[in-house]
């Protein structure tokens, strides 16, 4: 009877040790993912500040120029339409 309990206790000890190793492994993975996420967020913030923000500023200035040109052309077309309407009216 003692041999059976010794074997059972041995198996329970092995199961407990493996469970503790699994728990430590999961904790290490969670900490690693957290550290990796923080590094990636810092990298993304750095890229945004150094690359994306200046490019976005350039694109916005180009779009402002295009908007200004479009309004100038629109005003010119309106003037030509009025002039053409006057000529055909007379």
DSSP string, 10-62: HHHHHHHHHHHHHHHHHHHHHHHHHHHHHHHHHHHHHHIIIIIHHHHHHHHHH
**For residue 88, what pLDDT band results from cuts at 50, 70 and 90?**
confident
Whether this model's pTM surpasses 0.85: no
pLDDT of residue 38: 97
pLDDT of residue 3: 61
pLDDT of residue 17: 97
Q: pLDDT digits over 14-73, tens only?
A: 999 999 999 999 999 999 999 999 999 999 999 988 988 888 889 999 999 998 998 888
Query: Using CA atoms, how far apart are residues 51 and 76, in angstroms rounded to an integer?
Result: 38
Query: Using CA atoms, how far apart are residues 25 and 31, in angstroms rounded to an integer?
Result: 10
Domain definitions of the chain by residue range:
1-90
């Amino acid at each position: 009877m003692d041999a059976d309990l010794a074997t059972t206790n041995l198996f329970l000890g092995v199961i407990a040790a493996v469970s503790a190793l699994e728990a430590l492994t999961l904790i290490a993975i969670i900490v690693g993912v957290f550290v990796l996420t923080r590094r990636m967020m810092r990298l993304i913030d750095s890229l945004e500040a150094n690359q994306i923000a200046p490019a976005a500023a350039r694109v916005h200035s180009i779009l402002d120029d295009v908007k200004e040109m479009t309004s100038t052309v629109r005003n010119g077309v309106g003037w030509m339409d009025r002039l053409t309407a006057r000529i055909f009216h007379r």
